[in-house]
Amino acid sequence: MDYDFGNRLKINAAIQNARAYLDIMEKEGSFSAFLWQFVGGAPIQNRWGALAELPAATPESRAMSKALKQRGFQFVGETICYAFMQAVGMVNDHVVTCFRHAECLALAQPKRPIS
Q: What is the pLDDT of residue 6?
A: 63
Q: What is the pLDDT of residue 105?
A: 85
**Nearest to residue 49, comparing CAs of 99, 95, 93, 86?**
95
Q: What is the pLDDT of residue 2?
A: 57
Q: What is the pLDDT of residue 77?
A: 97
Long-range contacts of 99-105 (CB under 8 A, 24+ apart): 104/43, 104/45, 105/45
Q: What is the pLDDT of residue 108?
A: 79
Q: What is the pLDDT of residue 69?
A: 98
Domain boundaries, the chain: 8-108
Q: Which stretches does DSSP call E strand in 5-93?
A: 44-45, 91-92
Helix locations, the chain, DSSP H: 8-28, 31-36, 59-70, 78-87, 99-108
Helix (H, G, I), strand (E, B) or coil at 46: coil
Please, what are the averages of pLDDT over each run of 10 residues along the chain (115 residues)?
70 96 96 96 93 96 98 97 96 91 81 55
Would you tell me which CATH number, out of the four given (1.10.340.30, 3.60.20.10, 1.20.1740.10, 3.40.630.30), belongs to the domain 8-108?
1.10.340.30
Residues 22 and 109: their CA atoms lie apart, in Å, by 31
